[in-house]
Amino acid sequence: MSGPHDDFAPDEGPSRDRDQNAQPKFSPYHHPAAGWGAAKSVTKFMAREREAIDGPRAILKMNHEGGGFDCPGCAWPDDLKGLRLDICENGIKHVAWEMTHKRVGAEFFAAHTVTELSKWSEFDLENQGRLTEPMTYDPATDRYVPISWQEAFELVGRALAELDDPNQASFYTSGRLGNEATFLYQLLAREFGTNNLPDCSNMCHEASGRALQAALGTGKGTVDLVDWAAADALFIIGVNVASNAPRMLTSLVEAHKRGAQIVHINPLVEAAARRAIIPHDFLEMATFRATPTSTLNLQPRIGGDMALLRGIAKAVLEEARTDPMALDAEFIARHTVGFEEYRAMCEAASWTEIERQSEVAVADIRKAARIYCDADRSIISWCLGITQHEHGVDTVREIVNLLLLRGNLGREGAGPSPVRGHSNVQGNRTCGIDHRPTEAFLDRLAQVCGIDPPREHGLDTVHTIEAMQAGNVKVFVCMGGNFAMAAPDSTYTYAALRKCELTVQVSTKLNRSHVVHGRRALILPCLGRTEKDHQLSGIQATSVEDSMSMVHLSLGMKRPASPHLLSEPAIIAGIAQAALPNSPTPWQAYVEDYDRIRNTMAKVLDGFEDFNRRVRLPLGFRIRQPARELVFLTPSGRAEFSTAELPDIAPAAGTLTLATVRSHDQWNTTIYSDNDRYRGIENLRTLVFMNPDDMRERGLSEFDKVDITSVANDGSRRSVQKYQAIPYDIPRGNAAGYMPELNVLCAIGDYSTQSDQPIMKNLEVTIERSA
């Protein structure tokens, strides 16, 4: 088995999608996004995963109306025509990865100690296949050994009962849990007595939620795919579309064909900022007919977006002096507050400062403003390049400011459109995963479910880790995800997890979080989304909500990977029954028929009236969006302009700003291969993309080995050694490398004061040749 990434052993085994001893390669990518490169990659991947028979059949069942399961990949919405082939390379890989024939059972755990497994790479752990039965850690032999479901539930129940305070437990979710399981999970936590409900969103779109809530009174975007199809201008900021939201390529290609403008704002010119072939358009594929997917690319420095956006706003306001139509004065007067202060602030901001902070030339900022002013309807879309910064909330509010100037809200083809991550991360929040629940939500929950939920706010991801370290969180339950690997400051986080009395991982595949565990530990294997969920009343479907607030059913159709797997609702109910002996909740009845869970949800959750009927409509239903109807649930009852000062984000002399990003062949902590096709990389993950001048200044050539040291706000330092430098088209003073390997560089204390999100896109680092 292989060790750490920088010294791949030749004995890695045949499964690896790379030649043995393969040398790293780098050659800039010139082909369109998606198309044949994607098709070839899928074919190779399926052959490797031996999914040649089941795979295609399953994929035809994905994301289509009238049955089939929701793609467990990203949260981009389904095609509105119920298109059966609205699929993408990464969705296919995601599904095939879950449907693998490989299995990890008791024999596997008997053959390997946890100490041994902890030396395996992320790829090797997950690549063992699907987990098949519940296991518990045995310290005497340093191995996981089988445990019955009932004993496992009782173990959790006892550990929870032993706590002095319910807040010594914390309940994490990774965003794929279906809505019904989500509702039960938060009910379990709150009935037990805590709002400690950290989730992956704390590392992802917390900033977007807070900013949109403050500005518009809704924590979500307001547009849907119909709007995407009607926009005259699309601004795509800080998202690697071709890799992380590939189905957006369809919208971009169609937008370009109808003459819409597409502006990409990203320090890196990613594949989608050039041209693409629609992922499922076989005619385009057959004729190699690629369509441009960009009309303007702007490359701000990392963290320079807020200054750039303010520059665009300033240019719009300047234009309005001669052309009053540049502003939507009527909209501003009727629906907003704070415009005059915002105008004054933009006018006071100097072009020199805007240019210095964004590192985009004024002439280019004016080009973007021209496009914005010429468009009747604009959508601004963004992802982690905006949110994982100290100033994430202010920057999202600046996006809203810009939209408000021209009334780009509450009408077709216009509005804010955050690109969410996990397939149901938005649904998780809607259905109650929130460490800062509103009083109104808790009141409804109390009234409908007959419980007395705690009122004080709970812990998020970062604060859960700090509380573990301080001994204040002792039982940690994870519904999915790979917390150890996804969280910042790996060394600190590992130590924190190891201090826990009990860690519980509900998972489909083996990962780092199973080998970095508490004094006692459980692995509870669950059904995946592709699998049939049999309960007493028959086969169950669960619902999910996409990035654009569409809720629909997902129905698994595959035989479960093992007869011992339980569904996530069943596991939650099992734990609840063991932990809450006097519970008023009908846990068993809920599991027997998920319609019953939905009936309760309909009474607790806004917008879920008549849930069971509406979720069965062909395309599901859209959750009401007050801001979309120009109803603003803000203190002023209007959309609110914000007036945050521009932060100074220029790096200190000698240091670089580093962003951690995903490669093309990975899904968060799941690594499919060491390739990053669209960035021209093969066989390498321990790399750092650098500006050629920054390399020259350090006397570095392509592939030279470097040490990267981060400097935290508290002055502490963290390093990785022997990474390889890759010359790349990225602004001077900036660098980028891959998560999760580089999470060791993210200091636990470096989270945004605005969102509490770890600052994963803005690390201050020094880079030097390795000794």
Ligand X SMILES: Nc1nc2c(c(=O)[nH]1)N[C@H]1C(S)=C(S)[C@@H](COP(=O)(O)OP(=O)(O)OC[C@H]3O[C@@H](n4cnc5c(=O)[nH]c(N)nc54)[C@H](O)[C@@H]3O)O[C@H]1N2
Q: Which does 383 bind (CB under 5 to 8 A by kind): ligand X, Mo ion, none?
A: ligand X
Question: Binding pattern to ligand X, positions 295-314, x when CB under 6 A?
Answer: -------xx-x---------
688-747: contacts with ligand X (CB under 6 A)? 739-740, 742-743, 746
Beta carbon nearer to Mo ion, 170 or 428: 428
> Please, which residues bridge with residue 49 across strands?
none
Question: Considering the complex, what minimum distance in angstroms separates the CB of residue 290 from Mo ion?
Answer: 29
Q: Which does 395 bind (CB under 5 to 8 A by kind): ligand X, Mo ion, none?
A: none
Q: Which does 659 bind (CB under 5 to 8 A by kind): ligand X, Mo ion, none?
A: ligand X
CB 386 within 8 A of CB 399: yes
Q: Is 481 an interacting residue with respect to ligand X (CB under 6 A)?
A: yes
Q: What is the DSSP secondary structure assignment for residue 74, as one 8-state letter? A: B
Stretch that binds ligand X, among 316-324, 350-358, 655-663, 677-685 (CB under 6 A): 655-663
Task: Name the 3-class secondary structure at 449.
Answer: helix
Q: Side-chain half-sphere of 741: how many Cα atoms within 13 Å?
A: 25
Beta carbon nearer to ligand X, 388 or 540: 388
Q: Which does 198 bind (CB under 5 to 8 A by kind): ligand X, Mo ion, none?
A: none
Q: Is 548 an interacting residue with respect to ligand X (CB under 6 A)?
A: no
Stretch that binds ligand X, among 156-164, 534-542, 609-617, 668-676 (CB under 6 A): 668-676
Q: Is 673 an interacting residue with respect to ligand X (CB under 6 A)?
A: no
Beta carbon nearer to ligand X, 604 or 649: 649
Query: How far is C-alpha 581 from the chain's CA centre?
Result: 36
Residue nearest to Mo ion (CB): 421
Beta carbon nearer to ligand X, 176 or 314: 176
Q: Which does 506 bind (CB under 5 to 8 A by kind): ligand X, Mo ion, none?
A: ligand X
For residue 279, what are the CA distances in angstroms to 254, 367, 447?
A: 12, 30, 48
Q: Is 480 an interacting residue with respect to ligand X (CB under 6 A)?
A: yes
Of the residues 42, 156, 203, 236, which one makes contact with ligand X according to CB under 6 A: 203
d(CA 61, CA 85): 9
CB 196 within 8 A of CB 435: yes
Q: Beta-strand (E) ranges in 97-219? A: 103-104, 130-131, 135-138, 143-146, 169-173
What's the token pair of residue 571? 């596991």
3-state helix vs strand vs coil in the chain, percent to 5 = 40, 20, 45
Stretch that binds ligand X, among 58-66, 208-216, 480-488, 615-623 (CB under 6 A): 480-488
Question: Considering the complex, what minimum distance in angstroms separates the CB of residue 660 from ligand X?
Answer: 4
Beta carbon nearer to ligand X, 336 or 493: 493
Question: Considering the complex, what minimum distance in angstroms separates the CB of residue 512 from Mo ion?
Answer: 17
Q: Is 209 an interacting residue with respect to ligand X (CB under 6 A)?
A: no
Q: Which does 270 bind (CB under 5 to 8 A by kind): ligand X, Mo ion, none?
A: ligand X
CB 126 within 8 A of CB 556: no
d(CA 510, CA 172): 17
Beta carbon nearer to ligand X, 64 or 677: 677
Burial 193-231 (b: 16+ CB within 10 A, else e): bbbbbbbbbbbbbbbbbbbbbbbbbbbbbbbbbebbbbb
Beta carbon nearer to ligand X, 256 or 664: 664
Q: Which does 234 bind (CB under 5 to 8 A by kind): Mo ion, ligand X, none?
A: none
Q: Which residues contact 76 (CB under 8 A, 6 or more apart)?
A: 245, 246, 247, 248, 419, 546, 547
Of the residues 403, 445, 479, 502, which one makes contact with ligand X according to CB under 6 A: 479
Beta carbon nearer to ligand X, 73 or 217: 73
Determine whether 420 is exposed, middle or buried from the number of CB atoms within 10 Å of its CB (0-12, 13-18, 19+).
buried
Q: Which does 112 bind (CB under 5 to 8 A by kind): Mo ion, ligand X, none?
A: none
Question: Binding pattern to ligand X, positions 240-269, x when CB under 6 A?
Answer: x--xx--------------------xxxx-
Q: Is 399 an interacting residue with respect to ligand X (CB under 6 A)?
A: no
d(CA 353, CA 310): 11
Q: Is 508 an interacting residue with respect to ligand X (CB under 6 A)?
A: yes
Beta carbon nearer to ligand X, 79 or 122: 122
Stretch that binds ligand X, among 238-246, 349-357, 515-523, 548-556 (CB under 6 A): 238-246
Of the residues 342, 483, 611, 678, which one makes contact with ligand X according to CB under 6 A: 483
| CA-atom Rg of the chain in angstroms | 25
Q: Is 464 an interacting residue with respect to ligand X (CB under 6 A)?
A: no
- For 663-725, give the DSSP string: -TTEETTEE--S-BGGGTEES--SEEEE-HHHHHHTT--TT-EEEEEEE-TTS-EEEEEEEEE
> For ligand X, how many residues bind (rule: CB under 6 A)?
59
Task: Name the 3-class secondary structure at 307.
Answer: helix
Q: Side-chain half-sphere of 375: how many Cα atoms within 13 Å?
A: 32
Beta carbon nearer to Mo ion, 112 or 509: 509
What's the token pair of residue 320? 């309005």
Whether the link from the prior residue into 740 is cis, omega within 30° of 0, is: yes
Q: Is 379 an interacting residue with respect to ligand X (CB under 6 A)?
A: no
> Please, which residues bridge with residue 298 across strands?
265
Q: Side-chain half-sphere of 393: how many Cα atoms within 13 Å?
A: 21
Beta carbon nearer to ligand X, 639 or 661: 661
Q: Please give the residue ranges that form the binding site for Mo ion (CB under 5 A).
A: 204, 421
d(CA 725, CA 742): 14
Q: Which does 622 bind (CB under 5 to 8 A by kind): Mo ion, ligand X, none?
A: none
Beta carbon nearer to ligand X, 200 or 277: 200
Q: What is the DSSP secondary structure assignment for residue 757, as one 8-state letter? A: -
Of the residues 659, 684, 695, 726, which one makes contact with ligand X according to CB under 6 A: 659
H-assigned helices in 450-499? 461-469, 483-486, 490-498
Q: Is 661 an interacting residue with respect to ligand X (CB under 6 A)?
A: yes
Stretch that binds ligand X, among 12-20, 63-71, 189-197, 656-664 (CB under 6 A): 656-664
Q: Which does 747 bind (CB under 5 to 8 A by kind): ligand X, Mo ion, none?
A: none
Q: Is 422 an interacting residue with respect to ligand X (CB under 6 A)?
A: yes
Of the residues 405, 414, 526, 601, which one makes contact with ligand X according to CB under 6 A: 526
Question: Considering the complex, what minimum distance in angstroms separates the CB of residue 465 from ligand X?
Answer: 12
Burial 496-524 (b: 16+ CB within 10 A, else e): bbebbbbbbbbbbbbbbbbbbbbebbbbb
Q: Is 667 an interacting residue with respect to ligand X (CB under 6 A)?
A: yes
Q: Is 486 an interacting residue with respect to ligand X (CB under 6 A)?
A: yes
d(CA 428, CA 421): 12
Q: Which residues contact 609 (CB under 8 A, 6 or more apart)?
A: 602
75-114: contacts with ligand X (CB under 6 A)? 90
Q: Is 509 an interacting residue with respect to ligand X (CB under 6 A)?
A: yes
d(CA 522, CA 525): 10
552-581: contacts with ligand X (CB under 6 A)? 568
Question: Considering the complex, what minimum distance in angstroms separates the CB of residue 422 from Mo ion?
Answer: 6
Find the distance separating the first CA and the last CA of the chain, reported in whole Å: 27
Of the residues 256, 529, 598, 685, which one makes contact with ligand X according to CB under 6 A: 529
Question: Considering the complex, what minimum distance in angstroms separates the CB of residue 508 from ligand X?
Answer: 4
Binding site for ligand X (CB under 6 A): 74, 90, 126, 174, 176, 200, 203-204, 237-240, 243-244, 265-268, 270, 302-303, 305, 383-385, 388, 421-422, 479-483, 486, 506-509, 511, 526, 528-529, 568, 659-662, 666-670, 739-740, 742-743, 746, 760-761
